[in-house]
Structure 1
Amino acid sequence: MTDGEHLTVFADLPVADFGPGTLADDLPDAAEVAWRIRTELGGPGWAEVFERFLERVDTARVSALVLGYWACPIDGSHPVDLLLQARERFPSLRALFIGDVSYEEDTISWIEHTDLTLLLQELSQLETLEIRGTRGLWFEPLASGLLRRLRIESSGLPGELVDVVAASDLPNLEHLDLWLGAAFSGGDATVSDLAPILSGERFPALRHLGLENSEFQDEIAAAVANAPVVARLESLSLAMGVLTDTGAEALLSGQPPAHLRRLDLHHHFLTDAMVERLRTALPGVETDVDDGRLVMVSPADEWQDNLGAYVMVPE
C-alpha cells in the first residue's frame, strides 16, 4: 500500500465507495464492507455526502469506516468534526482510516488534518486506527486497552507525534507502523524519539513493528539491531527508506533476527552482495529485498554512496 493508491481492503473487509454519485438502491450490506466516504473536486462537499450516507446506510451496523478525499470544506467543517458530531450513530465502529486520499487527489504532505483528541476519546472502542498524512495532525497520548493496530503514513512525521505515540498507554497494541519521511517534508523525528518504543516497555503485546520511509534508515537499523522489543516481534519492516549496506551490516551484527517470520526491506540501497548475505543469513525468514534502488556508476562495480538516495514517499 502506497500513498498513490486507494484502499481496496480495510480491517479485513472489502472497501465500498460512497461518493457523490452513489445510489441508494445499489448498496451492499452495511456490516459486510468498510465504507469509504469521499467527495471529488468540483462535486458536493464532504459534509453533504456524509449526510446522505447517514440517511441511506444503517450506520449502527458499520464496523469499519474510511474517510476519503474531502477537498477544502467550504463551511470549515472537517470530516473528523462531522464524525465526532455523529459518533452515537456508530456504536459498532471498530476500525477507522483517516485520509484515504490518492496522489492524484492530493499529495500526502498536503492532506489537511486536525486535532483528533476528542474523537479518539469518544471512539474508545476502536481496535484499528490508521492515518495518512500529518499536516495539522495532533492528538494527545492514547490510552486504550482495545487498540491493536496503529499506523501513521507520512512523508514527514514530526518528532512530537512520535513522542505522543511513544507516550501512549496501549497494552494490547500488536501492530505499529510509522512512516518517518523526509526532513524537507517536516520529518524531524530522531532515533532518540524511538527509544521508548524500541525498549519494549511501552507496548508489551507488540508483534509487528514498522519504522519506514526514513532518510536515516541506517541509524534506525543500528538501533533496532540490539533493541529489546525485537525479541518478541514476528515481523519487522525497515522498508521504503535509505537503507544501505551499513544498516544491513548492523542488523546482521546485532541480535540475530532469525526468529522473525518476515523482514521487509523493500525500496533499499543495498548492494547485490549484501542482498545475498541477508538471504543466506536468514534462510527461514521471508525477507523482502525487492526494489533495490542502488545504481552502478562504474565498470569496476563501484557503487554510489547515497548519491541521490531518497525515501519512497518524500512529499
Structure 2
Amino acid sequence: MTTGNDLQELHDLPIFRFPAREDGPVDATGLPAPESVAWKIEVGSRDGHEEWEDAFDRFLAAVDTTRVRALIVGSWGSPSQVGPLDAIEALVAARDRLPALRRLFLGEFGFEESEISWIEQGDVTPLLEAFGELEDFGVRGGNGLRIGPLRHERLRRLKAETGGMSAETVRGVAACDLPALEHLDLWLGTPDYGGDAEVTDLAPFLAGSRLPSLKYLALRNSEMQDDICAALASAPVVARLDVLDVSMGVLTDDGATALLTGQPLTHLKSLDMHHNYLSDAMRTRLRDSLEPAGVAVDTDPGHAEEDEDEEDGEVWRYVAVGE
C-alpha cells in the first residue's frame, strides 16, 4: 500500500496552500490571518515551474511571518530525484523571520507526486537546531533521512513516516536529548526500502530513560512487529505510557501474545494494533482482557488479510505503507 495526501490539518490548524506563481500576483488582503492556518508551500515538477525557495521568498514577502505558527513543505519539484536541501537551507536562513513557528512538516505530498519509498530526504537536524521553539516536527520519506543527535528543549511531537527507516536514522533519533517530547511516532518500514533497523536499535526508547516526558509511543509499519511487541512486553517505558501504537505492520498472534502476557497494560488509555494478521480468537482475547479496564483497543485488520499471499507454501504478509 501507499500513503496519499492524508494531512487535512496540522493538528488544530487547517491547511492553506500558498498560491503558486502561475495563479497570478498574491493579494495579501485575500489571504487568511497568518496565525490561523498551516501554510503549505509547494511547487510543480514540470519545466517552467519556479523553485521551492523562490515560492518561499514570495511567501515571506506577502505574509506577516512573525505571526505564522505552522508551515508545511510540500513538493520541492522532483522529490523522487532531488532531496530538500535547498528548502531546508532557505528555512534555516529565515529562522529570525519565523519567531512564532511551532509546527513544521517536511515532505507532505501524496503518491501521485512520489511514492513514499521513493522520496529523497536529507539531514533535517539543521531545522530542529534552527527552530529552538518548535513543538511539533514531522517528516515523510526515508531515503537519506537523518535526524540528530541533538538536544531540543521544546519539541513535544516527533513523527517520521517512511517505507523504510535506516538503522542510522533510528539511532540518531534515539541519541537525541528531548526532555519535553511527549509523542514519538516512527514508521520503520521494510528492508526492501532501506528499513534495516533491528529491535536492538530501539533499546534507548524502550528503556525509558532518554525521553522523560514520553506518553505516546508508536513503533509501527514494520515487518518485525512481533519482535517489537516481545521487547515491549518487558520494556520499562511502557509503564508510563498513555498510548502504545504497534499498528500498520506484520503483527501476528505471536507478538500479541508476548505483549499481552508481559507486563500489565491496563493503565493504557489506548492500544492501537490496526492493520494486523491476528486471529479472531486473539482479537477477542485482547479486547476481553483490556477493554474492561478502560483501554481502547483497536484490532481492526483493515486490508491486511486481503493483502496476504501464499506461494509455494510460503505466506507473504505486508506492512500498511511500503512502496
| TM-score under structure 2 length normalisation | 0.90
Contact 2:307-2:318 within 8 A present in 1 as well: no
The one-letter code of the counterpart of 2:40 is R
The answer to whether residue 72 in structure 2 is matched with residue 62 in structure 1 is no
Partner amino acid, structure 1, of 2:114: D
The residue that corresponds to 2:45 in the other structure is 41
State the SS of the aligned residue for 1:66.
strand
Closer/same/farther in 2, CA of residues 296 and 113 from structure 1, 3 Å limit: closer
Residue 285 (structure 1) aligned with residue 295 (structure 2): yes
- In structure 1, C-alpha distance between the alignment counterparts of 2:307 and 2:288, rounded to whole Å: 23
Identify if the C-alpha distance between structure 1 residues 90 and 171 changes in structure 2 by more than 3 Å, giving closer, same or farther. Answer: same
Structure 2 matches for 1:83-232, cutoff 5 A?
83-232=91-240
Distance 1:219 1:119 in 2: 33
| Structure 2 counterpart SS, 1:178 | strand
Q: Give secondary structure in 2 for the equivalent of 1:79.
A: helix
Segments of structure 1 that go 5 or more residues without pairing to the other structure are 298-303
**Sequence identity percentage:** 49
SS at match of 1:307: strand
What is the identity, as a one-letter code, of the residue corresponding to 2:37? V
Deviation at 1:296, TM superposition (A): 12
CA–CA distance in structure 2, aligned partners of residues 56 and 187 of structure 1: 41
Structure 1, 63-72 or 40-49: larger mean CA deviation: 40-49
SS in 2 for 1:142: coil
Paired with 1:221 and 1:246, the residues of 2 have a C-alpha distance of 9
Task: Tell me, yes or no, if structure 1 residue 273 matches structure 2 residue 281.
Answer: yes
Deviation (angstroms), 1:71: 1.6
Question: Of 254, 261, 272, which residue of structure 2 is paired with 1:264?
Answer: 272
Do the aligned partners of 2:278 and 2:301 also contact (CA within 8 Å) in 1? no
Write the distance in 2 (CA, Å) between the matches of 1:142 and 1:81: 18
State the distance in 1 between where 2:229 and 2:12 align.
30
Q: How many residues align?
A: 307
- In the TM superposition, residue 117 of structure 1 has moved relative to its aligned partner by 2.8
2:226–2:251 Cα contact (<8 Å) kept: yes
Q: What do residues 138-171 of structure 1 show as CA deviations (whole Å, max 9, x unaligned)?
A: 2331201211111111100001111111111111
Judged with a 3 Å threshold, the aligned counterparts in structure 2 of structure 1 residues 305 and 244 are, in CA distance, closer, same or farther, namely farther
Q: Deviations over 1:93-123 (max 9, x none)?
A: 1111111011111111222222223332111
Secondary structure of 1:155's aligned partner:
coil
- The one-character-per-residue Cα deviations of 1:1-54 (angstroms, maximum 9, x if unpaired) are x73124111142111111413742421100011111111232322122212111
Q: Deviations over 1:241-299 (max 9, x none)?
A: 000000011111001211111111011000111111111011121111113423699xx
Q: Name the counterpart of 1:294.
A: 305
> More displaced, 277-286 or 208-217?
277-286
CA contact (8 A) 1:113 1:136 kept: yes
* Aligned counterparts of 1:64 and 1:148: Cα–Cα separation in 2: 14
Q: Which amino acid aligns with 1:3?
A: T
Which letter does structure 2 place at the counterpart of 1:13?
A: L
In 1: Cα distance, 2:85 partner to 2:254 partner: 47
* CA contact 2:85–2:122 (8 Å) conserved in 1: no
Q: Which residue identity does 1:34 align to in structure 2?
A: A
Q: Which residue of the partner structure matches residue 72 of structure 1?
A: 78
Counterpart-to-counterpart distance in 1, 2:307 and 2:195: 29
Cα distance in 1 between the residues matched to 2:188 and 2:148: 19
1:300 alignment partner in structure 2: none
1:32 aligns with 2:36: yes
Instruction: Say if 1:169 and 1:202, in contact at 8 Å, map to a contact too.
Output: yes
Q: Please tell me the root mean square deviation across aligned C-alpha atoms, in Å.
A: 2.1
Specify whether residues 188 and 198 from structure 1 end up closer, same or farther in structure 2 by C-alpha distance, changes over 3 A only.
Answer: same
